[in-house]
Amino acid sequence: MSYDVVLFDFDHTLLDSDASLAGAFEQSMRSAGVVDAAAIAGHYADFDRINQALWRQVEAQQISPNDVKVRRFEQLIEVLELDADAHEMADAFVEGLVACGELFDGAIDLLDDLAARSRLGMVTNGIGRVQRGRLARLGLSDHFDAVVISGEVGASKPGPAIFDVTFEAMGVSDRSSVLMVGDSLPSDILGAANAGIASAWFNPMGHQANPDIPATHEVRDLPEISPLV
């Protein structure tokens, strides 16, 4: 099966988001007056737990991505008993997210290869300022026919509405010609199923598959996407 349209997730699929998050967290903690590197590293697990729980609420359509921006720091300040301002920490974190993190090896080569024979789109759960800032810094803004960000359109994966926005923006009428590439089963792969399109699960760590959320394809490395298209 060949695909005329390939949609990509961004975080943890094309972008090394772990490095981006760690760098941004350091900036946010320094803005709160915590400058000891060991202390910052020691608190990251608390932040990661809070952050992941909030993004699961986004996937469950319970809150919006924009709600996550400040709420994660309100909760972190309470847990760590910091004398800090959540909005200031959130602003520093956003700046860090834009400035930190690089693409996975092979990402640019894959996009260039696919662009020669397919139309490319991005469907990402995130905050518009962050995602568009990252795309600009990494030189990716012009690689996609459409970039649809949940925080801008008011709909998130795995719901079908964000895909409907993407299809309209790209003029897609035949959903059988569309492939969604992403790392998250409950967001990207379930979202693709809800939208009635094929999916490729990017699973570099070899995580256990979930039979309740089957992917059309599974790959361990980004270059494995190319033969599917």
Residues 89, 149, single domain; the answer is: no
Q: How many domains does the chain have?
A: 2
Given the residues 4, 11, 48, 113, the one annotated as active site: 11
**Average pLDDT for 155-183:** 97
- The pLDDT of residue 177 is 97
- What is the CATH number for 118? 3.40.50.1000
Given the residues 4, 9, 16, 142, the one annotated as active site: 9
pLDDT in tens, 41-73: 999 999 999 999 999 999 888 999 889 999 999
Alpha-carbon span 180 to 159, nearest angstrom: 14
Question: Quick check: helix, strand or coil at residue 124?
Answer: strand
Residues 94, 118, single domain; the answer is: no
pLDDT, averaged across the chain: 96
pLDDT in tens, 100-113: 999 999 999 999 99
Residues 114, 224, single domain; the answer is: yes
Residues 202, 107, single domain; the answer is: yes
* Active-site annotation holds for 9: yes
Alpha-carbon span 163 to 192, nearest angstrom: 8
Residues 126, 202, single domain; the answer is: yes
Residues 115, 196, single domain; the answer is: yes
Q: Which percentage of the chain shows pLDDT scores above 70? A: 100
Stated pTM of the model = 0.92
Q: Which two tokens stand for residue 175?
A: 């959903």
> What Rg, from alpha-carbon coordinates, does the chain have?
18
Domain that holds residue 94: 17-99
* Active-site annotation holds for 11: yes
